[in-house]
Amino acid sequence: MSTLQAILMGFIQGLTEFLPVSSSGHLVLVSSVYKLLCGHEFITANGEEVFFDIVLHLGTLFAIFIFFWKDLIKIIKEFVNAVKTKNFSAPEAMLPIYLVVGTIFTILVAYPLKDVSEKLISSPAIVGCFLILTGCVLFFSEIISTKINLIDKMNFKRAIAIGIAQGLAAFPGLSRSGMTISTGLLCGVDRVTSARYSFLLSILIIIGTSIFYPILEIEPNSFINFNWGSIVIGFFVSLIVGYFCIKYFMKFLNKHSMKIFAYYCWIVGTLMAVGFHFFVK
């Protein structure tokens, strides 16, 4: 893996992890185009590529920590106080429980899909089809949400529904943030609250994946041959770009719908599906 490729993919990860356009789908697109230009085959990603993808997600995880650090401290304090007083009426006191419940349902859905979703990395045309599906989810959730009285509160049913949506986003091309924010809208949660919950919900699953996936799936001896310089650069690029993406995307959602991202997903998804299916062999 070259430094240029690491910078490019770190930028793509940081930009698309929080925008509802599928970071995994764009990483497949960029990686596939890179392999095409370099004359490489579209084979299933090797250990270094998989590990690098995890590191990029860790970069965006740190972006979440930095941006929401005040919120996280408040959430922890209110939860601890609620446990001590046995009173969970405070606005943020139940949020950690909702996040854990949502993460459990994410795992229940995503784990059985693991092998299938990993194989799709080498099938950019199929990933393009999932990207088109992401656009449809974004578009119709925005239309339906206009007929619902949206609120800024979570409950167990909403947490479970959003957790399931995050699990389905195991398929590259299905946007994690797009699926979770759209599901929040369909459940009657306003756009900004859904986005905030979506970003916080990613914390536990990214931490779990970052710890257990390398241990279970990657040969320890192979770590020696990794290009660690490029991996570190990619991490910091995804962190910095991810931070600013969260900042401005939250402001965007406060005033605008996600339909523009639906149009984008349809265009890019169609180009991927058609281009890689008919013109790239």
Dihedral sign for Cα atoms in the order 145, 149, 154, 155: negative
Residue 220 has a pLDDT of 66
Dihedral sign for Cα atoms in the order 183, 146, 15, 135: positive
Q: Is the pLDDT of residue 190 over 70?
A: yes
For residue 24, the Cα-to-chain-centroid distance in whole angstroms is 8
Residue 91 has a pLDDT of 76
Q: Is the pLDDT of residue 43 over 60?
A: no
Residue 7 has a pLDDT of 92
Counting Cα atoms < 13 Å in the Cβ hemisphere of 110 gives: 24
**C-alpha to C-alpha distances, 59 to 21, 112, 189, nearest whole angstrom:** 18, 26, 28
DSSP label of 224: G
Q: Is the pLDDT of residue 197 over 90?
A: yes
Residue 45 has a pLDDT of 54
Q: What is the pLDDT of residues 230-248, one digit of tens each?
A: 899 999 999 999 999 999 9
Rounded distance between C-alpha atoms, residue 96 and residue 60, angstroms? 20
Hey, which of 2-11, 47-56, 210-219 has the most confident mean pLDDT?
2-11
Residue 200 has a pLDDT of 95
Segment 178-195 shows an average pLDDT of: 95
Q: What is the pLDDT of residues 204-225, one digit of tens each?
A: 988 887 777 666 666 667 677 7
**Contact call for residues 116 and 160 (beta carbons, < 8 A):** no
Nearest 5 degrees, angle CA 176-CA 179-CA 184? 120
Segment 134-159 shows an average pLDDT of: 93
Q: What is the pLDDT of residues 153-183, one digit of tens each?
A: 899 999 999 999 999 999 999 999 999 999 9
**C-alpha to C-alpha distances, 150 to 185, 193, 195, nearest whole angstrom:** 7, 10, 13
Confidence of residue 46 (pLDDT cuts 50, 70, 90): low
Residue 120 has a pLDDT of 82
How high is the mean pLDDT of the chain?
Answer: 88
Residue 69 has a pLDDT of 95
